[in-house]
Amino acid sequence: MSNLFFDTEYQPNPTGERVQFIEKLTQGPAGPRGAQGPVGPQGPAGSGGGEWGAITGTLSSQTDLQQALTDATPDSIQFNTAAVETINVGKMFWNDADGTIDLGLKGGNVTLQIGQEEVLRVVNKSGGDLLEADFAAVRIRSVSEGGSQGGRLAVVKAKADSDANSATTIGLVTETIPNNQEGFVTISGKVSKINTTGAKSFGGLETWVDGDVLYLDPVNAGYLTKVKPQAPEHTIIVGWIAYAHANNGRIFVKVDNGYEIDELHNVKITSPTDGDVLIYDGTQNVWKNVPLSSLLS
């Protein structure tokens, strides 16, 4: 404060009257700061058993929390089975509908149900975009076609017309993968939220129902059919209709590429020709081909 006035006293003047003396005080500069007072008493302890993320226990200070996060080696992690969450890349939470843990994968378009499916990140070399809605069947590109790219398997559309076009069938596209870009293919487990009524068969000519076996189409690359191919077409089982629905359909993928007869471990085929038959060779313990005429002569 400044310019403080106060009444000090009354004194007589020569006329005998009392006059009032007024002194004017002005505030001086601030003095040095005093010493800090003593520390007050510690507050009450918090309740124990608090939970922070996936760490359960008493965390008494920020230092304890940092150390817990640094040194944590938990014996187990208990997820909240009643949680209602939305998926994000790198996020895990309990999926009660499927009875497992969901994990958001790179790109944000694919959710992995841990322990119930297997996916593979690949490069699309089909020459066009592979759309999630079409769930195309794809195979691994051969070395003669260009092989892998960037340390990842490259894929093209599969077709059951020959061994070259079907033997390396690996699974179904499970997200839209632009040409020459990377994305995920389901090689085992379920592909969900797709149209499984048969509308995605070639031309939409088939009707699919729950339990139908789906084969690789021998005529139209990338397509599935419920009509079993016949030799010399290749019978490649790609999966089964788990739920036939226009929007929330589900296919369980489990590729079975089948075998050529000369791929069986106890069959030895050498330069087959018309009229050959298989006979068993007890010395070599294999089935082998011989001309029928050699048995009749």
pLDDT of residue 22: 47
Cis bond upstream, residue 232 (ω within 30): yes
pLDDT of residue 37: 75
What are the structure tokens assigned to 133, written together?
């809605």
Q: Do 160 and 137 touch, CB atoms closer than 8 A? A: no
Spatial distance between the Cα atoms of 170 and 255, rounded to a whole number of angstroms: 7
What are the structure tokens assigned to 136, written together?
């195309």
Spatial distance between the Cα atoms of 223 and 135, rounded to a whole number of angstroms: 8
pLDDT of residue 21: 47
Residue 225 has pLDDT above 90, yes or no: yes
pLDDT digits (tens, 9 = 90+) for 81-97: 998 999 999 999 999 99
Q: For tokens 């993320």, what's the residue?
A: 53
> Which amino acid belongs to residue 213?
V
Q: Give rounded-to-5 percent helix, strand, coil for the chain.
A: 10, 35, 55
pLDDT of residue 45: 61
Residue 109 has pLDDT above 80, yes or no: yes
Spatial distance between the Cα atoms of 97 and 156, rounded to a whole number of angstroms: 33
pLDDT of residue 105: 96
Spatial distance between the Cα atoms of 202 and 232, rounded to a whole number of angstroms: 20
Spatial distance between the Cα atoms of 255 and 140, rounded to a whole number of angstroms: 13
CATH classification for the domain delimited by 118-256, as one of 2.40.160, 1.10.10, 2.40.300, 1.10.3470: 2.40.300
Q: Where are the alpha helices (DSSP H) in the chain?
A: 62-71, 163-166, 292-296
pTM over 0.85: no
Q: Do 208 and 241 touch, CB atoms closer than 8 A? A: yes
Mean pLDDT over 195-214 rounds to 98
pLDDT of residue 50: 45
Q: Where in the sequence of the chain do the CATH 2.40.300 domains occur?
A: 118-256
Q: Mean pLDDT in the chain?
A: 87
pLDDT of residue 51: 47
Spatial distance between the Cα atoms of 212 and 244, rounded to a whole number of angstroms: 9
- Choice between 5 and 244, residue whose per-residue pLDDT is larger: 244
CA 44 to chain centroid, in Å, comes to 45
pLDDT digits (tens, 9 = 90+) for 112-163: 999 999 999 999 999 999 999 999 999 999 999 999 999 999 999 999 999 9
What are the structure tokens assigned to 175, written together?
């997200």
pLDDT of residue 69: 67
pLDDT digits (tens, 9 = 90+) for 25-82: 556 677 787 777 787 777 676 554 444 455 555 555 666 667 766 766 778 889 999 9
Q: Percent of the chain, pLDDT > 90?
A: 71
pLDDT of residue 6: 46
What are the structure tokens assigned to 8, written together?
């000090």
Residue 239 has pLDDT above 50, yes or no: yes
Residue 180 has pLDDT above 50, yes or no: yes
Q: Do 200 and 213 touch, CB atoms closer than 8 A? A: no
CA 128 to chain centroid, in Å, comes to 23
Tell me the torsion sign for CA atoms 144, 150, 153, 156. Answer: negative
Residue 283 has pLDDT above 90, yes or no: yes
